[in-house]
């Protein structure tokens, strides 16, 4: 989900070659556990590695529970794992603390065959004034842990929601909101200095709900046949691209260079909970068109060399999450609508 201002610390680690994410766009799935009606971690991972096989190869899990890490051990999934919110102050407190957390969770389970791609510290609702002040320190400590471990292709990053943008239209005018501009500028500059992407949560659905008089359903659902927004020499046929490029513009405004990087850590469309725009049919259209765009095009108008990587929210409807059903599978593993 994407609150007004959401942030989480991530570690990006490519521990194995994955052709789609190197040479073209690819989509993965967010797997949350915030519910009491969900299958066990072992059942979920067994389903993804057997019945789904190579249809889903990228998975993002919200926290690094031992049950989930054990289930992931030795699989062929490329994994994003989260860390509980309360671990952020610990990781930020000292280099020794960060090293210990890194050893216990990343090094230990890498040896057991978990193919980490990202490690997310906190979740999308984590940000508070206290935690925000510790973000860069936690990133710096984990970056040093990676360096000392000598693990290639691990990078520290951060994930944010669209609320960090104070301006996003047209996309080239994207910039961070005044209330968070200082921390976002510091974060963006640091991430750029270590070659790490910014992880972003992009929800055209919520943009549509907030401005239904100015945004068309077709534009949000990848169904526009003609450009909806002309921004200089760039033409936008879908809102997803426009939102991603607004993030890119905000980052370029900070670092002064175009070679910034983003990964879409969340996007999706609810089947219920926000009528009249939420429905099974609209969710089917959005996520299928999204996958076609990511895999077939793999870039935005502004970022021709992007090789998009996008994680769809969500695997199941988590009944402790609150309003909105974003799940693409029922708890018995039937698909809510054809997608994968």
* Phi then psi dihedrals of residue 158, to 5 deg: -145, 150
- The confidence score (pLDDT) of residue 285 equals 98
Q: Reduced to 3 states, what is the DSSP secondary structure of residue 312?
A: strand
Contacts by residues 295-300 (CB-CB < 8 Å, ≥ 24 positions apart)? 295/20, 295/24, 295/25, 295/26, 295/27, 296/25, 297/25, 298/24, 298/25, 299/25, 300/241, 300/244, 300/245, 300/248
State which H helix or E strand residue 119 sits in. strand 115-121
Domains belonging to the chain, first-starting first, are 27-160+180-201+260-329 (3.20.20.80)
In tens, the pLDDT along 289-322 reads: 999 999 999 999 999 988 999 999 999 998 888 7
Position 130 scores a pLDDT of: 67
**pLDDT at site 14:** 43
Instruction: Give the orientation angle of helix 135-149 with respect to helix 181-193, to 10 degrees.
Output: 10
Global pTM?
0.91
Q: List the single range of 12-16, 82-86, 109-113, 202-206 with lowest mean pLDDT.
A: 12-16
Residue 202 and residue 240 in contact, taking contact as beta carbons nearer than 8 Å? yes
Report the pLDDT value the prediction gives residue 2, as an integer from 0 to 100. 44
Rounded to whole angstroms, the Cα distance separating 271 from 203 reads 14
Residue 122 pLDDT grade (very low, low, confident, very high; cuts 50, 70, 90): low
C-alpha 6/C-alpha 272 separation (Å) is: 23
pLDDT of residue 86: 83
Query: Which pLDDT band, with edges at 50, 70 and 90, does 119 fall under?
Result: confident
Alpha-carbon gap, residue 308 to 306, rounded angstroms: 5
Asked if residue 21 has pLDDT above 70, the reply is no
- Reduced to 3 states, what is the DSSP secondary structure of residue 281? helix
Q: Which of 15-19, 90-94, 99-103, 278-282 has the lowest mean pLDDT?
A: 15-19
């Amino acid at each position: 989900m994407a609150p007004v201002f959401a942030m989480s610390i991530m570690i990006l680690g490519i521990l194995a070659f994955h052709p789609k994410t190197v040479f073209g766009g690819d989509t993965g799935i967010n797997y949350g556990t915030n519910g009491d009606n969900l299958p066990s971690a072992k059942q979920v991972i067994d389903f993804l590695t057997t019945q789904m096989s190579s249809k889903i190869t990228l998975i993002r899990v919200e926290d690094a529970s031992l049950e989930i890490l054990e289930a992931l051990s030795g699989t062929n999934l490329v994994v994003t794992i989260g860390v509980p919110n309360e671990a952020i102050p610990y990781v930020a407190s000292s280099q020794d603390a960060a090293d210990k957390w890194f050893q216990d969770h990343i090094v230990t389970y890498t040896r057991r065959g978990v193919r980490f791609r990202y490690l997310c510290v906190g979740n999308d609702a984590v940000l508070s004034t206290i935690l925000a002040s510790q973000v860069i320190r936690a990133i710096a400590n984990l970056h040093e842990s990676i360096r000392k471990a000598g693990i290639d292709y691990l990078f520290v990053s951060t994930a944010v929601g669209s609320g960090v943008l104070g301006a996003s239209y047209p996309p080239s005018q994207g910039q961070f909101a005044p209330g968070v501009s200082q921390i976002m500028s510091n974060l963006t500059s640091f991430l750029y200095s270590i070659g790490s992407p910014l992880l972003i949560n992009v929800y055209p659905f919520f943009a549509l709900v907030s401005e239904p008089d100015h945004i068309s359903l077709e534009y949000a659902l990848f169904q526009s046949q003609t450009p909806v927004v002309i921004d200089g020499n760039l033409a936008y046929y879908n809102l997803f691209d426009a939102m991603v490029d607004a993030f890119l513009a905000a980052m370029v405004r900070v670092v002064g260079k175009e070679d910034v990087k983003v990964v879409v850590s969340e996007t999706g469309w609810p089947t219920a909970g926000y009528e009249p725009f939420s429905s099974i049919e609209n969710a089917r259209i959005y996520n299928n068109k999204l996958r076609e765009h990511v895999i077939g095009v793999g870039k935005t108008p502004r970022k021709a060399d992007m090789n998009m990587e996008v994680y769809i929210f969500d695997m199941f409807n988590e009944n402790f999450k609150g309003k909105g059903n974003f799940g693409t599978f029922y708890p018995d593993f039937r698909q809510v609508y054809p997608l994968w």
